[in-house]
Amino acid sequence: MNFFRRIVKPQNAEDEAFYYELKELLNFKPIKLSYYKKAFTHRSLKLTDSKGNPVNYERLEFLGDAILGTVIASYLFKKVPYGDEGYLTQMRSKIVSREHLNSLGKDLDLIRLVKSNISKENVSNNIYGNIFESLIGAIYLDRGYNYCHQFIYEQVIMPYVDIERLEGKISSYKGFVIEWCQKKKKKYKFESYEDSGNQNKKYFSVRVSIDGNIVAKGRSTSKKKAEEIAAKRVYYAMQNQMANS
């Protein structure tokens, strides 16, 4: 590793403004701006490099996701010595859930730095979490693991990770309902059925039965989301029974 890498000075006013925004966001000096520019580039721009490879945040998102999971896993391993593999996996999933990462991205207002051909009002809500992960990937390439650890500790662990609160948080209602049914030896069924809606967008509907009785239904643009919505309604319909067992 070269410990004497020099910071690449911004070449123009736009780069200079970007550099200082990054410095304030990261709480340290970025070295190579090109990594961070890519981290905030949406694929709608259809940019490519000299070899024809796409230039956008998606590969950095993949890298950042792996690093974030590693840092959180290391933290939990040290912080919760009594946790077994299943417990640690579940807790990590709660911390790095898409919902949580989207919230983090919104809190940091990362969307303000994104370059895209899509208006900010029309982007998917998941872009906030995606950009957060791609930023971590850029930090890793630019400054290495220790700086990633510092950033994640300051932006995720310190302000948001409360072990006792997370222990009581349900990360997957479907998983919770299935686990409860298995524990109580109850028969359960998640059944998808034909959606009779007339909307242009395709919808999926799911009903959940326990011991032959339909408890709740869910509807969404994907089967997975519909199952989760239905399972959440099951939980709230049977909350007293599930909480006291």
Given 133, 142, 227, 228, the catalytic residue = 133
Query: Residue 235: what residue type?
Result: Y
Query: Residue 198: what residue type?
Result: N
Given 65, 142, 227, 228, the catalytic residue = 65
Query: H-helix or E-strand containing 236?
Result: helix 223-237
> What letter does residue 117 receive in the DSSP assignment?
S
**CA distances (Å), 48 to each of 38, 57, 61, 195, in order?**
11, 12, 17, 41
Two tokens, residue 86 = 């299943």
User: Which residues lie closer than 8 Å to 187 by C-beta, 6 or more apart?
Assistant: 181, 209, 210, 211, 212
133 is in an annotated binding site: yes
65: annotated active-site residue = yes
191 is in an annotated binding site: no
Residue 192's DSSP bridge partners are 206
Binding residues: 61, 130, 133
Binding residues for Mg(2+): 61, 130, 133
Give the residue numbers marked as catalytic.
Answer: 65, 133
